[in-house]
Amino acid sequence: MPKKKRVVVIGGGAGTYQVLMGLKKYPFTLSAIVTMSDSGGSTGKLRKELSILPPGDVRRALIALSNLPLAEKTLEKLFDYRFHGKGSLRGHSVGNLLLAALTQITGREDLAIKEAGKILAVSGFVHPVTLDKTQLVAVLENGKRIVGESKIDLRWQGKEYAKSPIKKVLLKPNAKVFTDAAKDIKNADLIILGPGDLYTSVVPNLLVEGVNQAIGRSRAKVVLIVNLMTKPGETDDFTASSFVKKIRDYLGPASQKLSHVIVNTSFPDHVQTLAWYLKFSSRPVRDDLLKSEGVKVIRGGFTQKGELLRQGNLQKQL
């Protein structure tokens, strides 16, 4: 029997969820390496109150890889369900609370994730990129610093956000890669970056000490999935080549591993959906990639119809 290809998806949030959902239908050994810098919502509250790593992105990856004989939508709704009302549980998701409880039971975040994986009958592996507690910091072009992933993520809500773009992001304090995450990256046949918010979901993983080194030592080719839309406050006016340049900058010497870029070049007639994005200054990412970029560009229409634009049908390209 031929050996299964090892595919590692690095990122966080809805983008990683979509990629994992597509790829798990195929005979790959899948690993998800997820960012640990989230600080908003239920995740932020649990992180602060219980001094644990942020569970939100881990929860989504576990749901994506779950093979429980429970209706897919029911499982997704259950673990993403957030309590309402005025009580102390308001805003918390069931999945986040499960991971928080397992962390206290096992005493370690990585063991909690493994136990949750058993409960959810996960096929593949979900690893935090680091076990170190750290914060994401954005340095703006005007020198101002924004501390905390949620503040960076939501800076578009401020009236002045567009006047000073993000110059760079960093972790404070520095963090080291989780051993199991580094091992899976080194042993990968293919590494997928994104899609996801560039500075708050994808790049934070590359800031963790040891991640780029593991990518550089692997035999894997690296694929970048460019976002469908720009993100106000993060990637205003970005084109596809802007995403490629930034990823290369943060990969450092490992940027030589970047071999393929997937970019969306057409949208279905989602007139109302696109109008919603445009209202918030979010626009389709323009494909301006040239042969001189030194990567193979895979173009096509990869959107899924829904309330929000999501990238689908990518598994056929991978």
- Higher pLDDT among residues 81 and 252, named by residue: 252
pLDDT at 70: 65
Question: Amino acid identity, residue 115?
Answer: E
Express as a percent the part of the chain with pLDDT over 90: 60
The separation between CA 117 and the C-alpha centre of its own chain, rounded to angstroms, equals 19
pLDDT class for 318, splitting at 50, 70, 90? Answer: very low
Q: Helical H runs in the chain?
A: 13-23, 41-50, 56-65, 72-80, 94-106, 109-119, 149-153, 179-186, 203-206, 211-217, 240-251, 271-279
- In the block, which residue shows the tokens 């970019």? 263
pLDDT tens for residues 255-275?
999 999 999 998 776 657 778
Q: CA-to-CA distance for 207 and 238, rounded, in angstroms?
A: 21
Is residue 229 pLDDT above 80, yes or no?
Answer: yes
pLDDT at 314: 47
pLDDT class for 160, splitting at 50, 70, 90? Answer: low
Which of 15-19, 64-68, 80-84, 309-313 has the lowest average pLDDT? 309-313
Mean pLDDT calculated for residue range 211-236: 96
Beta strand segments in 115-235, E: 125-128, 135-140, 145-147, 166-172, 190-193, 221-225
Mean pLDDT calculated for residue range 65-69: 85
Which of 2-6, 53-57, 98-102, 232-236 has the lowest average pLDDT? 53-57
pLDDT at 47: 62
Which of 211-215, 228-232, 267-271 has the lowest average pLDDT? 267-271
pLDDT at 41: 61
Is residue 159 pLDDT above 80, yes or no?
Answer: no
- In the block, which residue shows the tokens 């259950």? 78
pLDDT at 177: 98
- Higher pLDDT among residues 84 and 209, named by residue: 209
Whether 135 and 147 have beta carbons less than 8 Å apart is answered as yes
Q: CA-to-CA distance for 300 and 34, rounded, in angstroms?
A: 27
Residue 55 preceded by cis peptide, ω within 30 = no
Which of 243-247, 289-293, 312-316 has the lowest average pLDDT? 312-316
Cβ neighbors of 144 (< 8 A, separation 6 or more) are: 164
Q: CA-to-CA distance for 216 and 2, rounded, in angstroms?
A: 25
- Average confidence score pLDDT of the chain: 87
Q: What burial class does residue 149 get, using C-beta atoms within 10 Å of its C-beta: 0-12 exposed, 13-18 middle, 19+ buried?
A: buried
The encoded tokens of residue 11 equal 């990122």
pLDDT class for 228, splitting at 50, 70, 90? Answer: very high
pLDDT class for 293, splitting at 50, 70, 90? Answer: confident
Is residue 53 pLDDT above 60, yes or no?
Answer: yes
Q: CA-to-CA distance for 127 and 109, rounded, in angstroms?
A: 10
Is residue 199 pLDDT above 90, yes or no?
Answer: yes
Give the largest CA-CA distance in the chain.
59
Positive or negative: CA dihedral 8, 14, 18, 20: positive
DSSP code for 28: E
pLDDT class for 78, splitting at 50, 70, 90? Answer: confident
